[in-house]
Each structure stands twice: as C-alpha cells, then as structure tokens.
Amino acid sequence: MMNWSNPVSRSFNSTWGLKTRLRVVVIGVVVIIGFILLISLGPRSKRALGLSEECRIPAIYNFGDSNSDTGCVSAAFRRVPYPNGISFFGKPSGRYCDGRLIIDFIAEKLGLPFLSAYLDALQANFQHGADFAASGTTIQHVNGELFGSGLNPLSLDVQLLQFEGLKERTSELYAQDKIKYRLSRLEDFSKALYTFDIGQNDIHHALTTTTEDEARKSIPDLVYQFPFAIKKLHELGARTFWIHNTGPIGCLPYLLLKYPPNPGNVDEAGCVKSYNEVAKEFNRQLKNKISELRTQLQNSLLVYVDIYSAKYSLVTESKKYGFVDPLGYCCKHVGNSSLHCWNKEKKNGVAVYATPCNNPSEYISWDSIHYTDAANRWVANRISDGSLADPPLPFSKLCKKSAL
C-alpha cells in the first residue's frame, strides 16, 4: 500500500522554513482566540460592534383563504381532487394548485417544513406551527347570506378560536407529558411568525353581489377586523406578524370570463381597472390600520407586505419572466367552461376530472383563480428580500421586536 505521509512531509519541509511555520502557528492561535472572544459576546455587544444576528423562526401560524390553505378544506369537506398537486407532490395535497403555495415557499425559506393543516386528522404535525387557512373563507364572520352564496364558515374569527384551542391543548398536553414530538414547544409560540393572507373572497363577493361603490363602503369594516385579530393573538403571546395585502383581483381570469368588462374599464394589462381600484383602496386602508396598530403594540413587529405589486408586475411583465398568456389558465374541463379545475363530472357513469395543460410552469393562473406553483415561487422570491415590505425586512430579519 502506498505511504502518503513521507512525500507530504518532505514537500512541507522543503517548502516551508522554520520562521514561516512559526508565523502560521501564531496566526492560528490569534484566530482561535478571536473566535472564542466573538462567540462569548452577548447580543448587545455584537450589535455594538456592528455585527448582526439572524433570527431563527421556530414556527409559523397562518390565517387565510385558499391562497394559503394547505389542506383544511380538503380535510373538512372533501379531498381536493386530481389534477391538483401534479407538478410538485405528484398527487392531490389539499392545495388548490398544481404544487406549492406562497406560504410553502415562505416556510422553505425559513428552513421549516410545510405547515400541517389544522383540520388534518391523519398526518398533522404542529411542531413547527399550523395552517388555519381555509379555501372560500372571509375576513368577515359568515352569516346565513354569505354561507348561502358559497362562502366557507371557517372565517377569520373561527380560525382565531382554533388557534386559541391549539395553544390551550398544547399547554395541557405538555403538562401531562404527552405527544410532545408533534407539538410546538411552549416558548416557541412567542417566537413564531404569524402570517395573514385573507380578503380576496370578501372583495370578490362584494364586487359580484353589490355595486362597486357599496364594495368600497364595506372596506372599513373589513380592515377593522385585522387589529382585532392581531390584538387577540398578541394577548396569546404572538409578537411577529407578516401581513399580506390583497392581490389584483381584476386580473383573475375567472372574473374576466364570468363578468366581461366594458372596453373602457380595461387597463393596459387587460385587467378590470375598477376591480383593481377597489383592491388598492382595501390595501391603502389596511396599510394605514397596520401603521396605527404599531403605535399600540410597540413590543411587536408588524410587517405589511405588498403582494399586490408583486402579482401585478408578474402579470404585466409575464413574458420577461417566462410566462405565457398572463390572463389565461392551465387547468380546465375541455368543452365545459361551467366546471372548475376542482370539479369532476360523470360521463356514462365514469368520473371525469379536469385536464391540466402540458406546461403548468408557463402559466400564472392554475385554475382561473389560484396561481401555479411556478407563479407562487416567483412571488415568494419577489417578497423575500423585504423590498415590498413595510418595514423593509427580509425573511432572515424577522425578529421579535422585544428581542432586538
């Protein structure tokens, strides 16, 4: 067997002199001592030296609608069918998408697993948070009229009750020393990130059942629910909030097809101008409300995220980013436009599912309402650096304010 030690030793001796080797030893000792001193410094000392500590978010608790529902509706009512999930999971995953949602990419960027849907009774693991979002839900409490129009009763107030129940049960189970491996640590509730992505269904319902003026007048009542929700979570220990505004609803293929706009009400991207104006008014009031709330919860971090701008820029510059037909969509029932991607029909007693396009990654819209995996990835990347956030913080800096 070849002896590698002798050639290496001869090479070292012939190349390095005694002084050089001593110099290397001294430098090595200095580096080690410096490293020991650095890691011994506390957080305040590190900041005084201009050094920063990146945050580690241990869990995410998400509240929202189908834009961030990882399986609540699929578990509560019926499973979201094929071809949903085909691009990433290879099967239905509870998401109205061919793959991942924005909340999935946020979890990935924070080094966390995908969130379990709170209502999933089979494989749920809440060690790193939970997803309370449910498709078809609203900010406002769902009364008989809203329920009759097809909206989901698991509205934001119900999701808050679900979170409160999860936290209480977690405390009880820890006290009983049971199933800790599936639960978040109690101290992680105050260190977690609390995310919101909700409001699209409220605006959609108002625009399609009332006048646009009435839709605008309903906005203050909707926006008021956010301070209520955030204060409630704050009472339960939450300190870090990531709040999405609503997207350009006037660019959704579903609305463009079902409620064709007048030619004068179409913008340069082909979207319904007046619908997007209502969405922007909602966002303006939401941003102001979050700013007011910061003065009341000064020990918390409230980040307002401009999802609207990210999504609208994707629509208007779709070709630049490799997407085709920005107002088209991928998944449909061929020959029956009245059915959605998540519907199935029976022909001669056989269930017929929707047909996906051959290239979902080239489309922004998956099913005329929800984005594709590729579009969600693009939006998540766009917001991850904090340039569309107020304050402008990237994911890596989402520290609890009281810990800064």
Instruction: Record the tokens describing residue 121, joined without a space.
Output: 């009774």
Measure the CA–CA gap between 134 and 351, rounded to whole angstroms. Answer: 26
Spatial contact of 73 and 65, defined as CB atoms under 8 Å apart: no
Q: Which neighbouring-strand residues pair with 329?
A: 365
User: Rounded to whole angstroms, what are the CA distances from 133 to 290, 359, 366, 381?
Assistant: 20, 28, 19, 21
Residue 306, C-beta contacts closer than 8 angstroms, at least 6 positions apart? 245, 283, 383, 388, 389, 390
Q: What share of the chain is helix, strand, coil (3-state, %, to 5)?
A: 45, 10, 45
Measure the CA–CA gap between 254 and 329, rounded to whole angstroms. Answer: 9
Instruction: Record the tokens describing residue 260, joined without a space.
Output: 């064709």
Q: Residue written as tokens 């319902």? A: 205
> What's at 17, amino acid-wise?
G
Ramachandran angles phi, psi of 374, nearest 5°: -65, -40
Measure the CA–CA gap between 59 and 301, rounded to whole angstroms. Answer: 16
Catalytic positions are 66, 367, 370
Q: Transcribe 245-284 into DSSP letters.
A: ----GGG-HHHHHHSPPPGGGB-TTS-BHHHHHHHHHHHH
Residue 382, C-beta contacts closer than 8 angstroms, at least 6 positions apart? 310, 313, 314, 388
